[in-house]
Structure 1
């Protein structure tokens, strides 16, 4: 795509950049300078964007593994909302927090924009879209999402058992690390195992061990699910689902996933390891309650299984991968470790989950980690399946798939000063407290998305990270491995995937 392509968008060399920094609509010249207000009501034009080649569109220009980086470059040329085609299909990208809120929460077509595109995952992996993540936004999806949100953000906190058990799990890890002082440690592998144990606890209400069937089932399902759901594989299978039956890599992945899915169902839905406090029990109890109240008991085991599988891309992978980045950041920034330990001296007892409000710097470290990393750089795709829709004088054709470029927003100098640096201080107010929800940096944080599709469990992940950081930093200093060059702490160079992660590295623990 050469620099002259932009002038081809219309005959006078103008591109339409839908939003300026104040949320208004502007028209821009090819060099990006304002060229007067767009005032034509009912203008049925599409948003600007790169045209690509006939038929294929941008199929050969978009790196599926690093879409967020390509989108950042296109945003500079075409504005905060642009559109492109691949094989005749429309895709739209939004790179401004205010536009996202308007598009998905407050505009008249917000409900339509919150639907999901048809995909291989919701048809062939999730049984008849019986889940939360891939299902269209109907009453059943919203009912399940509200129940799951209440479970993660209220019930787990109020009942105390969960975070007490997580604390015990991390303290057990401390004992294991004490035997590894001054030795090379695969911290990413350690954190991956910890997260699987925590998610086993979420599902069953019981602590699980590495030798348990629950651990093996979750760990086994993650690998093929993560590989099959990559943008490249999922896109190919959505276009050509018959490839799941053609001998080759995609068939092998699909067969492996189906086998692991059956094992997951057997272990977590048909097994005997449940107690009266895990997510599976909560959903089954909800089904019983609905029946007793004379309602429709539509929450069958397929729905419960769908919610369990949703946790892989929505909870397990993000938490595993953001913890990998956490420790890379801490090794690169010993001064941050020192500040964390300094703040921990204010506690006269062991760290508890309720202490998060007393430790604003650590809270700020976690927020900055989520901004700096942005584990899901591009959100799960929305889609206006119900028909064409107007948004700010632009026509959004039916079945346009909409990306929220979260990574681009969190690394845009308009919203975050020095965005490529890890700076927890940006979330600290002048009085030393954590900034409030109306502060610009908080309003511009969209890690978990916006509107009714906002990810479940953001509070849950922050609390788990809080316990990991405080307990490990209270006991250890984290140092680089003398035998291995440390990977750069640059989110543009993190390992690609549905959720990006830190490159593999080893570190050394020393006593605090």
Structure 2
């Protein structure tokens, strides 16, 4: 006899309630870390906000300590609030904490589980191969290769021209410039010049918007109730399935379009060496599995930096508006190194001579980190920490925001103070792991961002070039009054909310340098 819709609904409710009751009983039988009390069966689900979760987690950490225990619909969860506990668990015991939880929306439905971010743990071949490729192509040594450094310098110089021509569109320019350099690295694809919006950049941007939205904890109910993935698309409340289909469609285009470009270029002997072409040449005759892996790896390479680096660049502009004395000190340092003859732009070989500019980069990572919560880890077997049992399957969030705003390590953490990273002589201090934003900001353990060195170079060269040739200040309204920007950030990949500013060349000579070096 066929089941009616009512019968199916009743069975679903009973199944969910049984599941919640069982997991709630098991969870409460074990001593857990202190945390906010939740509702019976449901736990803390309604206490986790839909956005800016890191701020709520920061509030709990200050109340309950640097390991906060939660449960969400019977799922044990802990929030890590100090670099020490993150090091103890995610670094030292990385073999236990390097798995990812199953993400129904971002992973299974949208398709991001094929890439590095959501792939299963380090014991899986796919994960190991992703890491091998990234280390070979954008690891600490490859990232210092002259060809890659020159590529980044050219990209930063092109950004200067775009800002000079359309200074009010600085957010768009930063995103497109970052996307262009990663596309060149990943696929050997050079963005079309003199075009408002490159078609491939647009494909990637759409896919990344889906990634960021699907990755937010609590954004989609299906992540808490996986059984919902089986309901028909036309069912009331199933709009998430239609959203997921669009996300998967955008991701497929990201996988296929640039990959096909590389294959055509290799066939026509017009290929430019890239992450994708190097892998295909290594394989000789790649299998379908090989092709699927490199598509996912290249897309992961892009997703790791295409949205995070623009966040750092726009944060830099916001910080310079609010702290003109910081900008002035950095420009004085640059003038002392390069002079005011305006003969050339700053380059990577100047970096060691610019401790204050380097301190600005570190303070940007600390002040408003691009990914303040990171992606969740999952415990693969029972563990004991500080006398309490962390059961297998526990979800672990490292609240990077709290670690970088710890008053004991960073006094006055809401203040933008680059000098905190300098010694009494104005030289850059040697930093321990727990006080180094350039490490903490990129994650922990075996899940630390493999593109961190490439990303750091991109941020540095963009910032140092902008500081040398531009003056960044507050915008003014029609009456000539300064417009005070608000420091507000949103999104799983956290960006400042749109703000106005004035960006203009520091001098006529600076403008001529931009045009000579970047256009001519």
TM-score, normalisation: structure 2: 0.80
CA distances 1:353-389 after superposition (whole Å, capped 9, x unpaired): 22222211111100110011111111211111x3322
Aligned to 1:60: 46
Query: 2 CA distance for matches of 1:198 and 1:89?
Result: 40
Aligned to 2:338: 347
Whether 2:319 is the aligned partner of 1:334: answer no
Q: 1:316 to 1:127 in 2, by over 3 A?
A: closer
Instruction: Give the SS at the match of 2:183.
Output: helix
Instruction: Give the SS at the match of 2:300.
Output: helix
Aligned to 2:153: 167
Aligned to 1:225: 211
Query: 2 CA distance for matches of 1:130 and 1:72?
Result: 29
Counterpart of 1:370 (choices 354, 365, 370) is: 365
Aligned to 2:101: 117
Aligned to 1:453: 447
Query: 2 CA distance for matches of 1:408 and 1:313?
Result: 24
Query: 1 CA distance for matches of 2:433 and 2:382?
Result: 36
Gaps of 5+ in 1: 1-42, 292-296
Whether 2:136 is the aligned partner of 1:136: answer no
Q: 1:128 to 1:383 in 2, by over 3 A?
A: closer
The structural deviation recorded for 1:67 is 1.6
Q: 1:451 to 1:218 in 2, by over 3 A?
A: same
Whether 2:203 is the aligned partner of 1:208: answer no
Query: 1 CA distance for matches of 2:358 and 2:165?
Result: 29
The structural deviation recorded for 1:410 is 0.9
Q: 1:309 to 1:177 in 2, by over 3 A?
A: closer
The structural deviation recorded for 1:214 is 2.3
The structural deviation recorded for 1:305 is 2.2
Conservation of the 8 A alpha-carbon contact between 1:96 and 1:409: yes
Alignment of 1:174-189 (within 5 A): 174-180=160-166, 185-189=168-172
Instruction: Give the SS at the match of 1:344.
Output: helix
Conservation of the 8 A alpha-carbon contact between 2:78 and 2:395: yes
Query: 2 CA distance for matches of 1:417 and 1:226?
Result: 31
The structural deviation recorded for 1:84 is 0.8
Moved more, 339-348 or 241-250: 241-250
The structural deviation recorded for 1:287 is 3.7
Counterpart of 1:428 (choices 392, 415, 422) is: 422
Counterpart of 2:376 (choices 374, 378, 381) is: 381
Aligned to 1:509: 503
Query: 1 CA distance for matches of 2:455 and 2:484?
Result: 26
CA distances 1:156-205 after superposition (whole Å, capped 9, x unpaired): 5343223322322332332333345xxx6132122112112122112112
CA distances 1:462-488 after superposition (whole Å, capped 9, x unpaired): 211111111122111011111273322
The structural deviation recorded for 1:444 is 9.9
Q: 1:419 to 1:130 in 2, by over 3 A?
A: closer
Counterpart of 2:315 (choices 325, 330, 343) is: 325
CA distances 1:449-503 after superposition (whole Å, capped 9, x unpaired): 22211112222112111111111221110111112733223xxx312x1111111
Whether 2:275 is the aligned partner of 1:279: answer yes
Aligned to 1:71: 57
Q: 1:85 to 1:406 in 2, by over 3 A?
A: same
CA distances 1:109-144 after superposition (whole Å, capped 9, x unpaired): x41222111112333334764535432222521342
Instruction: Give the SS at the match of 1:270.
Output: helix
The structural deviation recorded for 1:288 is 4.4
The structural deviation recorded for 1:238 is 5.8
Moved more, 259-268 or 459-468: 259-268
Gaps of 5+ in 2: 1-28, 507-520
Query: 2 CA distance for matches of 1:244 and 1:463?
Result: 47
Whether 2:33 is the aligned partner of 1:47: answer yes
Aligned to 2:77: 91
Give aligned pairs, total.
454
TM-score, normalisation: structure 1: 0.81
Query: 1 CA distance for matches of 2:402 and 2:84?
Result: 14
Q: 1:244 to 1:308 in 2, by over 3 A?
A: farther
The structural deviation recorded for 1:445 is 5.6
Conservation of the 8 A alpha-carbon contact between 2:143 and 2:453: no
Query: 2 CA distance for matches of 1:104 and 1:460?
Result: 23
Query: 2 CA distance for matches of 1:356 and 1:499?
Result: 27
Query: 2 CA distance for matches of 1:486 and 1:186?
Result: 18
Instruction: Give the SS at the match of 1:186.
Output: helix
Moved more, 259-268 or 231-240: 231-240
Aligned to 1:5: none
The structural deviation recorded for 1:440 is 6.2
Aligned to 1:310: 300
Higher helix share: 2
Q: 1:254 to 1:443 in 2, by over 3 A?
A: closer
Query: 2 CA distance for matches of 1:347 and 1:457?
Result: 29
